[in-house]
């Protein structure tokens, strides 16, 4: 019998309404059918402390936080997430799938809210060191399509969803920039396709990038 695959860390990134949560759960189910132990989590959140910080970030007025303060809150939640959940699970051989990770802070607080890249790089290095996902799936969707999906599925929008279309277009461009800059880690998936087609593209990417043999 072949030795089990070591724990891997997969992140889902992209704009609002791209279907990250749905596809993260679908991928987890697919991986579990191969015999892997899989944990699905999210950012901000994933731990009691992280979930408390999430409430501060997603509720209230759009201009509630200074961008640097907001980045600090995200990285505080992320540190708890990595130290208390992600790294222990990976060390135990589990696969971890996270709905958002550090790329979201680069996009939202960087491109979206104007925080400079140097500050974000320093924060990431301080909080995470060289810890990175094994694979990042960027679900790309035209901004207007994302907004239509949000309106159809969630009558009460979050703080980030209430930020303007220009903000969300900057996010989309930044995520695509990240994919171009890190092609070995990132795979862009067309999230405008059907849910089944998106899932198939994700399964293909995980198989190719991480060596999963699907049943």
pLDDT for 3:
46
Residues 6+ apart with CB under 8 A from 12: 20, 23, 24, 97, 98, 99, 100, 136, 137, 139
What are the residue ranges of helices labelled H in the chain?
20-32, 48-58, 67-81, 87-91, 102-105, 117-128, 143-153, 165-181, 195-210
What pTM value is reported for the model? 0.92
**Domains of the chain and CATH, by start:** 9-210 (3.40.50.300)
Count of helices and strands (H, E) across the chain: 9, 5
Phi, psi for residue 211 in degrees, rounded to 5? 75, 25
Q: Please, what is the Cα angle at 137 between 167 and 62, to 5 degrees?
A: 25
Task: Specify the length of the chain in residues.
Answer: 215
Per residue in 156-189, pLDDT (tens digit) is: 666 777 777 888 899 999 999 999 999 999 999 9
Instruction: Encode pLDDT of 45-65 as tens digits.
Output: 999 999 999 999 988 887 889
Cα angle 169-73-126, degrees, rounded to a multiple of 5? 100
| The pLDDT value given to residue 5 | 54
Collect the ranges in the chain with pLDDT lower than 50.
Answer: 1-3
Tokens of 48: 């009691």
- The residues, ordered by sequence, that sit 6+ positions from 21 with a Cβ below 8 Å of its Cβ are 42, 99
What is the pLDDT, as a whole number, of residue 155?
Answer: 59
pLDDT for the residue 6: 80
The answer to whether residues 105 and 71 touch, using CB atoms and an 8 Å cutoff, is yes
């Amino acid at each position: 019998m072949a030795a089990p695959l070591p724990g891997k860390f997969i992140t889902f990134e992209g704009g609002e309404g791209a279907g990250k949560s749905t596809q993260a759960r679908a991928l987890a189910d697919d991986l579990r059918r191969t015999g892997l132990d899989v944990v699905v989590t999210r950012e901000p959140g994933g731990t009691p402390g992280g979930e408390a910080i999430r409430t501060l970030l997603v509720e209230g007025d759009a201009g509630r936080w200074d961008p640097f303060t907001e980045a600090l809150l995200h990285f505080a939640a992320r540190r708890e997430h990595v130290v208390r959940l992600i790294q222990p699970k990976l060390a135990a051989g589990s696969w971890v799938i996270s709905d958002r990770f550090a790329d979201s802070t680069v996009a939202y607080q960087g491109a979206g809210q104007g925080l400079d890249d140097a500050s974000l790089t320093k924060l990431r290095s301080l909080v995470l060191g060289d810890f990175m996902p094994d694979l990042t799936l960027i679900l790309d969707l035209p901004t207007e399509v994302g907004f239509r999906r949000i309106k159809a599925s969630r009558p009460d929008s979050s703080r980030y969803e209430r930020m303007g279309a220009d903000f969300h277009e900057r996010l989309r461009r930044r995520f695509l920039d990240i994919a171009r800059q890190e092609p070995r880690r990132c795979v862009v998936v067309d999230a405008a396709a059907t849910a089944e087609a998106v899932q198939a593209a994700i399964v293909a990417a995980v198989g190719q990038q991480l060596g999963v043999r699907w049943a």
